[in-house]
Amino acid sequence: VSLAKIGITNIPYGHIPLMLCKGIVHCQTQNGRIGSILLESHRTDMVFEGKSPNTLEKLLDQALNLKRWMYAWRICDYTKIHEHWNKFAIAATKNGEVDL
């Protein structure tokens, strides 16, 4: 098992984290209710049009770090940049468990 820091998300004051699942932190609020917070590192942008190549590369890096293979594939397919496909191939090979 490995752990990698890929982002930071501030939790509001008075929220007590209870559980983390798929990038969603479930917290108990001050009034005793359960609330959910999506981690910043797990936010995805599905619209690629109008994005700079630098932004698209950051989105690709994020997708590869989170092992979101289909999302990374869509980015590579959209950009058609050879280096992006190479990054995808290296990450997928290192992981060894890609379901497309």
Residue extents of the structural domains in the chain:
11-43, 44-95
Alpha-carbon distance of 90 to 64, in angstroms, equals: 10
Query: Taking 70 as the threshold, does the pLDDT of residue 98 lie above it?
Result: no
If pLDDT is split at 50, 70 and 90, which confidence band does 3 have? confident
Token pair listed for 3: 């752990």
Please state the separation of Cα 86 from the chain's center in Å. 19
pLDDT tens digits, 29-87 = 999 999 999 998 888 888 899 999 999 999 999 999 999 999 999 999 999 999 999 99
Q: Calculate the CA dihedral of residues 8, 11, 13, 15 and round it to 10 degrees.
A: -150
For the entire predicted model, the pTM comes to 0.74
